[in-house]
Amino acid sequence: MNKLGVLIVISTWMAAARAESPSDSGWPAYGADAGGSRYSSLAQIDTANVSELRVAWVFRTGEMGEG
């Protein structure tokens, strides 16, 4: 198996491992983890509490001007 094939197999295995064992540690790095997977299990959000979600933060760059 070539190096690219090994890399794909390892990446797939790691993604599956993250999906099976969600953690509540938050996103310790940009994009969720050092690999930038941007994966969130959303284990705490379900149909019973989704209506309680609120905006946590907003960042305005000023690029759009006023309004």
Residues 6+ apart with CB under 8 A from 1: 9
* Higher per-residue pLDDT: 30 or 16: 30
Closest by Cα among 43, 38, 3, 54 to 20 = 43
By the 10 Å C-beta count (0-12 exposed, 13-18 middle, 19+ buried), 46 is classed as exposed
Helix H or strand E segment including 16? helix 3-20
pLDDT of residue 51: 92
pTM of the model: 0.32
Q: Is the pLDDT of residue 26 over 80?
A: no
